[in-house]
Structure 1
């Protein structure tokens, strides 16, 4: 009986792998942006047409590639990030699998232009369906420009599976935001159909968050900062009153890589215990730095799933850190809904000692509690007060003034009433409608 098992051609294998690596235009955006970051770029441009279905182009000012590297980069499992298996446990780059460019080139028309710093000429390569159409020397600027056109052109069923431009653009923006938030020191520019969507300049983390989500975000942020032997945690959480019904602005970054972790998310939500309404979700931007040899990134091609060596310790540390920061900034559940906001302690209490002063209390160092007590004298005239009090019973008439308020027809008239005491037992007094005997 003849043999029936055969090796698949490279272009077929690449198309199969592309189904897992490239799910939609947003997947292409993620891979190309991460390649630009690994190339050491400080300025990155993202150009889109028709939500990435027609064009996804990334232009960077990174170190570029040699003519050989430019060609080999589209081969499957070709990478400059790792050389041996041990390197998987000491990763410092975004990519390492060597599958992204090969998968993209298998299902799209790709045009690459690249030039290294010391080279006089750059390299241009055109690829269609994993086949190199042309490779030439060109005059171009330093860095790399890669354009992916007509995504899924040779897989009609997959192209028809794509959603509307609005939905696909939303997915692209999500990936773009994740990369931008992970690297606030890099400048990013995003255009869609020749319209500028984002123009983010190099900045610090807080400013990058505000530039991405709007100026109103600044007042919502509570800083987080904790350094330990196993993890360094920094970033921001939003105040509880700004929680949302839908999960949205929740970002975890581990070693500058965006991840999804329901386990760590539970730690943050648990730290907000008693502060959130039922069914609401807090916003957070948390950056964890751990030793590279204590995590495993090689779980899924998207690299958003990570396994930690000491998950329970990270959970406890993250929960305690968030809880401590919320308490430090005077964020606690308020039971008195009529509480005067002016009575709350200012956030600047610890930084501005003039905001509040400790009251001065005088102490008598010679005070002896066992010493014979002296008679206490009061500042008022007791004899005069007693005589005034007794006159209530000895006098036959007393003049009183009544101050009528708005409760009684808004009249404030001083009226003099006559009161007579009979046999020191009864009081006879005149009122508006007659007399009364008490």
Structure 2
């Protein structure tokens, strides 16, 4: 029987390694930027085309490479940082595995130009799918310029699963932000399709945060700093009022390396306990400086997870530091027992009770000249008769009985019932659910999800017949966005217009909102854009193959009534009627349950 075990060729082994290291264009960006940082670059330029699918180019002014190193860096396990196994536990540099460039070269066309300052000429290396195409001397500037072209050109199955340009660009921007936040003293530039999205000069940490996330964040940053024998901690956290509905501005860095850590994230969320609304995420930029021997950064292929020797102690230190900063800047409520209170007048036990009195002049006429020193009268225990007042109301209709026109409400255990003259069919619970009795028991309807289903079908039907109604803005709202959000909206502007939202591109990451969908419950353009972006960023992989379905669902979610909105009986009736006129009233377009029925038998069983 023939042997079945054999050694893989290097080209196949590199492609397998690429599956772990190179997942999408953003993975390439991360590796190349980290290499530039390790090379001591002070100016780094990232150029991207079509979301990184056709070109990723990084230009730096680092130390460069010799002719031999330029060729050897594409070999597997080639590294400049590791000499012995002990070095793995004393790492302060970024790239050290020695397989990133080999993996990238296995699934792309790579062009490398590099020169050291001590060399008169540089070296150019061209590699395609792990095969060396050419190597020759070349005149170039000091540093390194590397271009990755046609990523996954030889692995069609991998390229097919790449997302749209806007989604891939969003991931690239995330990697760019992580590296540039870790090294604010380095100048960074990000250019996409010929437009500079970021141009960041060397600066301090706070200026770098403002440069990446906009001027508005500047006034919401709170300094955090503490130093212990275990870890040195610093950075900034955001005030609770600037918390956002979607995550995206949460960053941990350990010794200059970005890290994901849900356990430490929970420490910060606990520190913000009772300061944030439900579902909101605070911004934070936390930097840990810790002994490299007490951490392990080599537990994940992308090196975004780090294992701490004493993670629980780090949790306690971080939690205490965040609470201290929130209290220091008077963000958390506090009680000051030294503050004098207001005086409460002393009332003797048997003192007579008298009605308070005010000075009035019943003969005062604002159209007559009021003589000085006009007499005033006191109203209180002594009542004075004023005649002629009936003439003021002679032409007014008789006021109806207030009991007949009053809208009666019933509140008990968070249940609100709104009663009109004609019906009493619906109740609202906690500003979230619509309750109504049916033959089999009690029907419970999620009001927000119901409205999402109604709007979704309205948008889809209106788009097919080109009848979506829009409300023109009298004064178009100008909104400045983050680069990733700006690119996402502009790339979907044509689809959004079909649903009634018209936006204009003013360049420089700025848009103008010219009209909104008439059916939207959100009338503030800035608020609607914020809701829409949060949903589009969270649901970029919605289960729809057609873009119009994704946009329709995003618009419906952003425009639907929110939880906590008190509805009248008429509004509840309208939602229920429109819901059951939909083709799928039971579930939302993304598959969430809208209606449930609490059976009468279950109610009776609970009351036994």
Fold agreement, TM-score > 0.5: yes
**Corresponding residue for residue 305 of structure 2:** 305
The TM-score normalised by the length of structure 2 is 0.57
Higher-Rg member (1/2): 1
**Corresponding residue for residue 122 of structure 2:** 122
- The Cα RMSD (Å) is 2.5
Deviations 1:6-57 (A, max 9, x none): 1000000001110111011100000000000000000001011111110000
CA contact (8 A) 1:254 1:287 kept: yes
Pick closer, same or farther for the CA change 1:132–1:269 going to 2, 3 Å. Answer: same
Could you say what secondary structure the match of 2:62 adopts?
coil
CA contact (8 A) 1:111 1:146 kept: yes
CA contact (8 A) 1:59 1:144 kept: yes
Note the 1:115-194 alignment, pairs <5 A: 115-194=115-194
CA contact (8 A) 2:360 2:376 kept: no
In structure 2, what is the Cα distance between the partners aligned to 1:293 and 1:228? 16
Deviations 1:303-346 (A, max 9, x none): 001100010110000000010011011111489xxxxxxxx9xx
Shift of the alpha carbon at 1:2? 2.8
Could you say what secondary structure the match of 1:93 adopts?
coil
Note the 1:266-415 alignment, pairs <5 A: 266-333=266-333, 403-404=359-360, 414-415=374-375
CA contact (8 A) 2:361 2:376 kept: no
Deviations 1:139-164 (A, max 9, x none): 11110000000000001111111111
**Corresponding residue for residue 216 of structure 2:** 216
In structure 2, what is the Cα distance between the partners aligned to 1:406 and 1:152? 89
The yes-or-no answer on 1:37 pairing with 2:37 is yes
Pick closer, same or farther for the CA change 1:431–1:174 going to 2, 3 Å. Answer: closer
CA contact (8 A) 1:182 1:257 kept: yes
Deviations 1:331-362 (A, max 9, x none): 11489xxxxxxxx9xxxxxxxxxxxxx99xxx
Note the 1:35-74 alignment, pairs <5 A: 35-74=35-74
Structure 1 stretches of 4+ with a deviation exceeding 4 A read 405-413, 428-433
CA contact (8 A) 1:185 1:204 kept: yes
Aligned residues between the structures = 361
In structure 2, what is the Cα distance between the partners aligned to 1:431 and 1:137? 110
Deviations 1:376-425 (A, max 9, x none): xxxxxxxxxxxxxxxxxxxxxxxxxx9535898769784599xxxxxxxx
CA contact (8 A) 1:275 1:333 kept: no
Pick closer, same or farther for the CA change 1:76–1:416 going to 2, 3 Å. Answer: closer
The TM-score normalised by the length of structure 1 is 0.78
In structure 2, what is the Cα distance between the partners aligned to 1:65 and 1:279? 49
In structure 1, what is the Cα distance between the partners aligned to 2:168 and 2:363? 67
**Corresponding residue for residue 353 of structure 1:** none
Shift of the alpha carbon at 1:281? 1.3
Pick closer, same or farther for the CA change 1:254–1:407 going to 2, 3 Å. Answer: farther
Question: Which consecutive residues of structure 2, in runs of 5 or more, have no partner in the other structure?
Answer: 341-357, 388-608
Could you say what secondary structure the match of 2:248 adopts?
coil
Deviations 1:225-280 (A, max 9, x none): 11111111110000011111111100000111001000000001111122111221
**Corresponding residue for residue 86 of structure 2:** 86
Question: Which consecutive residues of structure 1, in runs of 5 or more, have no partner in the other structure?
Answer: 336-343, 345-357, 360-401, 418-427, 434-438
